[in-house]
Amino acid sequence: MSAEKTFYTVIAVIVVVAGIGIGAAYYDSVSSAHSSSQAVSSSLTLVITPNNWYNNSTIHHRQPAFYVLEPNGTLASSAMINLPAHQLISLTIIDYDSGFSPALGNVTSNGSAVQNNSYFAKVVGTVGGVEYIYNGTGQAVNGTLSSNVTNGMQVNHGSGWAVSALPWVGNSSGGWEVTHTFTILNGANIIVNIPSWAGSNPSGGTVTHASFYINQTGTYSWQCFAPCGTGIGWGGAMATAGWMMGTIQVS
Q: What is the pLDDT of residue 235?
A: 85
At 77-94, the pLDDT tens digits run 999 999 999 999 999 999
At 164-207, the pLDDT tens digits run 888 777 655 567 888 999 999 999 899 999 999 876 555 567 88
Q: What is the pLDDT of residue 248?
A: 98
Beta bridge partners of 207: 94, 135
For 71-205, where are the E strands, in sequence order?
75-77, 80-83, 88-95, 131-141, 144-155, 161-163, 178-186, 189-197
* Distance between CA atoms of residues 137 and 117, nearest Å: 24
φ, ψ of residue 109 in degrees (nearest 5):
-65, -25
pLDDT band at 241 (very low <50, low <70, confident <90, very high): very high
User: What is 10-36 written as a DSSP string?
Assistant: HHHHHHHHHHTT----SS--EEEEETT
What value, to the nearest 5°, has the Cα angle with vertex 16 and ends 10 and 18?
100
* For the chain, domain boundaries: 3-250
Q: What is the pLDDT of residue 139?
A: 43
Inform me whether the pLDDT recorded for 103 exceeds 50. yes
* Distance between CA atoms of residues 239 and 109, nearest Å: 9
Q: What is the pLDDT of residue 37?
A: 35
* Distance between CA atoms of residues 182 and 196, nearest Å: 8
User: 109: Cβ–Cβ under 8 A, 6 or more apart, which residues?
Assistant: 185, 188, 221, 223
* Distance between CA atoms of residues 165 and 198, nearest Å: 12
Q: Mean pLDDT, the chain, as a whole number?
A: 73
The SS3 of residue 170 is coil
- Range scoring the smallest mean pLDDT among 55-59, 154-158, 187-191: 154-158
| Total-model pTM | 0.74
Inform me whether the pLDDT recorded for 225 exceeds 60. yes
Inform me whether the pLDDT recorded for 97 exceeds 80. yes
Q: In what order do the strands lie in the sheet with 218-223?
A: 80-83, 245-250, 218-223, 178-186, 189-197
Contact (CB, 8 A) for 75 and 69:
yes
Inform me whether the pLDDT recorded for 115 exceeds 80. no
Q: What is the pLDDT of residue 85?
A: 96
- Calculate what percentage of the chain has a pLDDT beyond 70: 63
Distances from the Cα of 3 to the Cα of 52, 69, 78, 184, angstroms:
11, 16, 20, 30
Inform me whether the pLDDT recorded for 151 exceeds 60. no
- The kind and range of the H/E element at 8 are helix 3-19
More confident: 74 or 3 = 74
CA-based Rg of the chain, rounded to a whole angstrom? 17
pLDDT band at 209 (very low <50, low <70, confident <90, very high): very high
Q: What is the pLDDT of residue 83?
A: 97
What value, to the nearest 5°, has the Cα angle with vertex 115 and ends 109 and 116?
130
Q: What is the pLDDT of residue 59?
A: 58
